[in-house]
Structure 1
């Protein structure tokens, strides 16, 4: 069904004016206004053809009215594309009753049941406007209901010329049946579309709440430890006059805790920005070896404390075309994980080679590895509980998720292989400059 809609261009038509800056609820209302405009154009073309074939009274005038209404529906699309959503809805709700008023007043009268559509139009504002527009909803509901009541109780049947198709009662009944079926179909379509998007909004709320819980969890647990350590050491340094060796040890611990806190905050901010589509991508030509050196320097204290040895094999320093902040974040996260999950006095191997128009960087550690279940969750981007490191280091569970998102944003990729007890191998691909 989706493929068919894409081929017909219907999905593109329904998304006219929908931008990434609109919230989900606002996007749904724009899509609904486009849907109503599409149905309106189709209905007016259909009835214009029927009226001409059956030689309905004043069908030439009705064809002019239908043409005018179709033109206004096209303007509705234009307003949505230009972001004038309120104006688009106002045009839409006031143009819909026009052909019905004309056909029920001087063409068909109450014959054919066209005035039933006023009941549909009385419902439309409830799905098209938000609660903040309640006075518009009430006004449009009462207006369309009043039109229906007027034609139901005070309207007169149409008078048709003898010899035309409409002169026959069976043809008149066919129009009435068509009106009833069309009204019910339109109501069902609106309600189905609205319920579908209510379901989407519900899922989005669950996702947002899940993200909020994760953020609070990270702030409460993963930042509490490093900041507590910094507070204790600062208190110790200010309350006493330590020896030089103690001072150096304290400053090293402070730097380590600061780096850990910084990495947690950076991951958290990158993850939130990516989820809210606010990540800024500014690519330029960069030195991969320099980025790796900076990342290793930042994490060198943690690596030295665990006795981790770096084995870097970069044959040529080919320039990459990437965002510096994003790429630095990716490298720091991968190297931080390699340190965290490596056994003391372990080794981390970093290699790079050209692969087509990109450079492939491989990171191999000899640490604790991952289970298949954990690996699957990471690859699928699902929420998981981060394991403790080999000496009790705590992770956020965001690092690799952030890496995959940031690499994808730059046209890169991340591949992950791991086995429990055998270590982890991460391969990233980055686009080359030029």
Structure 2
């Protein structure tokens, strides 16, 4: 009996109509049947229909069953389909050749119906289990890749933020003795503020990492644009000061968008950090905002080194090897941009870039204004 949960498909290949009819009578109650009366039709049906199993005769006029089996096993599309030879030839050498060319089993004619069904069930069940294991291996590999990406991303952002906190404290200590008491308090307040932002960033990233690895649902809420801009600028103030870069904000005094706060902050921080890296000394970065239909379009524009058109698509690929240094030798290019794209997509938006070599780059991304827009976009 066939105990599989659903009817699986079996391709029966035989050049004798009476043999096809006999096999169909026995197997029809248990399987979805496909038929081919020669080798050419068998190869075509196997590739187009992808049956769960093939019953293959050996003696056929245009090509032997052995040759058909070899061709099926050499084809990437059909090589995993189990093949049972069903033949009147019972010689030991014939059976050995059937196994050597890739067959999984051999049944002699006249066959016993229950035995044939049992063997078909066994091989289809093995195929189903093998496919399940392959899927699990792929999921495990994807999980490991995601974990590695998370570690790289978190270490990148934390290193950048901790470097800012360290540089501020170092500067404070160097100047501390020459500062007035009021100035000392202000410098310490700035240091505490920077460390507080670093701690907040760490908590954000760890929460996000838990969500990613645990496949939990992300929390979405309304996000204030001006407040986020100010927060990110504060986190990167020392990189800005080191290059004497001014930031011009073209944003309303109050505007809300809908998304995940950690994702949104991370996108802004990465885009602005990259803009700083590739900006020239004493140049300007522009943060702009505009409403387009049901979305907010946000952009970060610099006057830096620019990017060649041929590299645009590589910027957002996790497996891309594209890399270059910043204007002060800063490491990397685009670390986190693939994650920015992932975040923007999860929030229902898009991300893209415009750039010209030696003239600068402008990164754009969109965010929905309301929950219903995000739901429609991700549907």
TM-score normalised by the shorter chain: which range applies?
A: 0.5 to 0.7
Distance 2:311 2:269 in 1: 21
TM-score (norm 1): 0.49
Q: Secondary structure at the match of 1:203?
A: helix
Query: Could you list the per-position Cα deviations for residues 112-131 of structure 1 after superposition, in whole angstroms to 9, with x for gaps in the alignment?
Result: xxxxxxxxxxxxxxxxxxxx
User: Within 5 A, what are the aligned runs for 1:23-62?
Assistant: 36-39=4-7
Q: CA RMSD in A?
A: 4.6
Residues 365 and 240 (structure 1), Cα distance of their counterparts in 2 relative to 1, 3 Å cut: closer
For 2:327, the equivalent position in structure 1 comes to: 390
Distance 1:254 1:396 in 2: 30
Task: Using the TM superposition, give the Cα deviation of residue 271 of structure 1 relative to its aligned residue in structure 2, in angstroms.
Answer: 5.4
Q: Secondary structure at the match of 2:290?
A: strand
Query: Could you list the per-position Cα deviations for residues 178-199 of structure 1 after superposition, in whole angstroms to 9, with x for gaps in the alignment?
Result: 4344333323322223333333
Distance 1:288 1:238 in 2: 34
In structure 2, which of residues 284, 298, 307 is the aligned counterpart of residue 370 of structure 1? 307
Contact 1:309 1:346 in 2 (8 A): yes
More strand per residue:
2
Say whether 1:184 aligns with 2:150. Answer: no
Residues 226 and 374 (structure 1), Cα distance of their counterparts in 2 relative to 1, 3 Å cut: same
Query: Could you list the per-position Cα deviations for residues 126-164 of structure 1 after superposition, in whole angstroms to 9, with x for gaps in the alignment?
Result: xxxxxxxxxxxxxxxxxxxxxxxxxxxxxxxxxxxxxxx
Contact 1:330 1:403 in 2 (8 A): yes
For 1:12, the equivalent position in structure 2 comes to: none
Q: Secondary structure at the match of 2:136?
A: helix
Say whether 1:281 aligns with 2:214. Answer: no
Task: Using the TM superposition, give the Cα deviation of residue 403 of structure 1 relative to its aligned residue in structure 2, in angstroms.
Answer: 2.1
Distance 2:341 2:269 in 1: 13
Contact 1:218 1:396 in 2 (8 A): no
Say whether 1:308 aligns with 2:308. Answer: no
Task: Using the TM superposition, give the Cα deviation of residue 254 of structure 1 relative to its aligned residue in structure 2, in angstroms.
Answer: 8.8
Say whether 1:421 aligns with 2:358. Answer: yes
Contact 1:342 1:367 in 2 (8 A): yes
Distance 1:419 1:200 in 2: 43
TM-score (norm 2): 0.55
Q: Give the length in aligned residue pairs.
A: 272
Distance 2:153 2:167 in 1: 21
Contact 2:172 2:187 in 1 (8 A): no
For 1:244, the equivalent position in structure 2 comes to: 179
Task: Using the TM superposition, give the Cα deviation of residue 335 of structure 1 relative to its aligned residue in structure 2, in angstroms.
Answer: 1.7
Distance 2:248 2:297 in 1: 16
Q: Secondary structure at the match of 1:392?
A: coil
For 2:274, the equivalent position in structure 1 comes to: 337
In structure 2, which of residues 126, 142, 151 is the aligned counterpart of residue 207 of structure 1? 142
Distance 1:348 1:214 in 2: 28
Q: Secondary structure at the match of 1:405?
A: helix
Q: Secondary structure at the match of 1:244?
A: coil
Task: Using the TM superposition, give the Cα deviation of residue 220 of structure 1 relative to its aligned residue in structure 2, in angstroms.
Answer: 7.2
Task: Using the TM superposition, give the Cα deviation of residue 249 of structure 1 relative to its aligned residue in structure 2, in angstroms.
Answer: 8.1
Task: Using the TM superposition, give the Cα deviation of residue 309 of structure 1 relative to its aligned residue in structure 2, in angstroms.
Answer: 1.9
Query: Unaligned regions of 5+ residues in structure 1, if any?
Result: 1-34, 41-52, 55-65, 67-172
Query: Unaligned regions of 5+ residues in structure 2, if any?
Result: 9-24, 31-108, 373-379
Task: Using the TM superposition, give the Cα deviation of residue 232 of structure 1 relative to its aligned residue in structure 2, in angstroms.
Answer: 9.0
Q: Secondary structure at the match of 2:5?
A: helix
Contact 2:307 2:355 in 1 (8 A): yes
Residues 315 and 349 (structure 1), Cα distance of their counterparts in 2 relative to 1, 3 Å cut: same
Residues 240 and 282 (structure 1), Cα distance of their counterparts in 2 relative to 1, 3 Å cut: closer
Distance 2:324 2:188 in 1: 27
Distance 1:310 1:230 in 2: 20
Task: Using the TM superposition, give the Cα deviation of residue 225 of structure 1 relative to its aligned residue in structure 2, in angstroms.
Answer: 7.9
Distance 1:178 1:376 in 2: 58
